[in-house]
Amino acid sequence: MTIYSPVQRAHQPAYVVVKQGERSASFDVPERVDSILSAINKQELGPVIAPDDAGLEPIRAVHDTGMIEYLMTAYERQNAEAGASGAVLVTLMWMGNLPPEHNPLIDEHVVYAVLLVGLALVRAGQWYGLGTHLSRAWARSAPVLAAVVQ
C-alpha cells in the first residue's frame, strides 16, 4: 500500500543547498512523483490511496501542548516582534542624529517607528500581504493545518 496525495506534486523547491553552500537543482519535481507512482503501479506494489485527515489528535498525543500552541501562534508573534524590532531600530537611528536639524517629532525616523508599531498592532500582514494567502494555501495543502490556520 502506498499513501499519496496530489498535493505532493506541488512540492517543488527552487534549489537545494548542498556542500559548502553550493546550490544545485532539486530532485523534488512533479515529474519525479509521476515516475515513482508509475514504478509502484508497474511493480504492482499494492493500492495507492489518499491519506486520511486525522485532525490534531495524533499530533497532540505525541507532542507537548506548549509546543503546539507555540507553533500555532508563531506567525502572529513573529509579525508583532518584527514591527517592534523595526520601531526600535529606527528609534536608535533617530537617536544617532540627536540633536536633530529639524522638528524632532516630525522626523522621518519617528514617523517610521510609529508606522511600524501601528502596522504590527493591526496585523497588517493578514490584511495586505501574503500572510493570509500563504496560510490558506498551506491549509489546503495539508488538511490538518486547517484547524491551526484561522
Within this chain, do residues 42 and 68 fall inside the same structural domain, yes or no?
Answer: no
Instruction: Output the pLDDT for position 45.
Output: 92
Contact 79, 131 (CB under 8 A): yes
The boundaries of the domain holding residue 85 are 57-147
| 101 and 31 part of one domain | no
CB within 8 Å of 145: residues ≥ 6 apart? 138, 139
pLDDT of residue 48: 92
Encode the chain (150 residues) as per-residue pLDDT tens digits: 899 988 888 877 776 767 677 777 777 888 888 999 999 999 999 999 998 888 889 989 999 988 888 888 887 777 777 777 888 888 888 888 777 777 777 778 888 888 888 877 777 666 665 566 666 666 666 555 555 554
Same structural domain for residues 64 and 32? Answer: no
Amino acid at 126: Q
Task: Indicate if 6 and 71 belong to the same structural domain.
Answer: no
What pLDDT was estimated at residue 99? 79
- Neighbouring residues of 38: CB distance < 8 A, sequence distance ≥ 6: none
pLDDT computed for residue 134 by the predictor: 61
Answer yes or no: do 61 and 42 share one domain: no
Q: In this structure, are 101 and 143 located in the same domain?
A: yes
Residue 119: Cβ within 10 Å count: 20
Q: Are 81 and 111 in the same domain?
A: yes
Q: Are residues 140 and 76 in the same domain?
A: yes
The three cell numbers locating residue 31: 515529474
67 and 137 part of one domain: yes
74 and 141 fall within a common domain: yes
Are residue 63 and residue 137 in the same domain, yes or no?
A: yes
pLDDT value, residue 150: 47
* pLDDT attached to residue 12: 75
